[in-house]
Chain A
């Protein structure tokens, strides 16, 4: 029925108009932040909606140095890189053991790791904080790295186990041939084979660690990660929107760049994460 097809096409064209408006709203924050970051505070107060006529980089300089975003940025980089590497290492060895090796209580141990998904940070806020203090990890970057690993780990272990389980049987049998060389099998076989899954997990965990604020507020109180610093900047400079906007641009830039380059991995990975995690 060509008539019906034509009608459907027209309906889809009409639907695409509100959908395009919605899409514009999704990129609006980027425009808002960049545009206002380039204005002087006076220009912003005079006209909140206009484009930046006389763009200035002064806000970026001030946010970066005088508002200490440079320190917070380094904290975030160190903590994110550390936590992501630790997450990849731990989830890859656990996934190897759970998917390829035979041992008693395998299913039980897998279930314990997955069950901790039911325990988000809010559910253990008080005792978790006390545990961190008791282990002398409070206000240390290594403490935050370990905390991130503990909270983002179960999904990564699940992904690696599922990925390794999907590999051909012969590879897994080969891994079992000689007990003494399991660590070499992991290093020479499993780690290179796991690359696609490890890349996806690396990107996703980078997003989670970089964007976190609650765990960071608890563990790293004195030094501040970038997101905690931004939240504080929001509170301190309520009247200086251009300065805040410059901070937002600097804080979001790494994630926006990551999204532009790895959009495919992020989109497929987060869909799986939402389904399983």
Chain B
């Protein structure tokens, strides 16, 4: 973190209402997501899985936004790089591995969808697809339902900066703005839509787009965990207070290729990537926790060992788990009756 605090003032996380346990838990989720993600890449390179898409470097802000949410009442509409986000919402590494290996027990889709296509009703994570940005109007729909039923619930929807050019972004923002719906629109601006850089995606600032829809837009440095948390907490408070949506633009950087099918050095330099790798928010947050007296080398060693074991177990489980039986592969096109017939 860039700010240091004096011994007399409250640590930043405490001033924001985060307990020490929460501050530490946030760090653990970032590491868990990072390690899962690295394993995913490795498994693809080793030929164990067909495809992996990474969220590396975006974990700090994803964890921060999850921790600002109410997991019992809010609705979550993530996009495909949101591993740290869904892990923070309660999805397990084992479940992510089942998805990566496309196995039947995968709660997201029973191994039907590509990895990164999250969905789990028990965690209030709404099923998503591959045509980008379709989830944005859905978030407005969830918020509308909450408003109609008088529920204290906020919808959080995330997407990339490429997506912010889709009609569904604008239509969803406009709808939520008109209706003053409790939605938090999250643009994870990582600089690239596959190969096309931000400069060729938009001539303006994404957060400014909110002005056109009559609600605030905020830009935040995604490497600054606590500042990101603060921004989301405020957006959440506004939503619950009936003040309507907020657009949060998280400024981050995609340090990996778009996916395991992409060669990013065709369109950018290694040097550019290295500059951003050096700005990684995770070591910075670790330094913060250490300075706050909440983290030590021993704890780090213990965490790394624990996570390694968890990921090893999940990998083994995911690899061994059966695929969905082909007899079931075509089920659930429509609702079924109790004896398995289509209604």
Q: Do A and B belong to a common assembly?
A: no
- Seen from chain A, the residues whose Cβ lies within 8 Å of a Cβ on chain B are none
- Seen from chain B, the residues whose Cβ lies within 8 Å of a Cβ on chain A are none
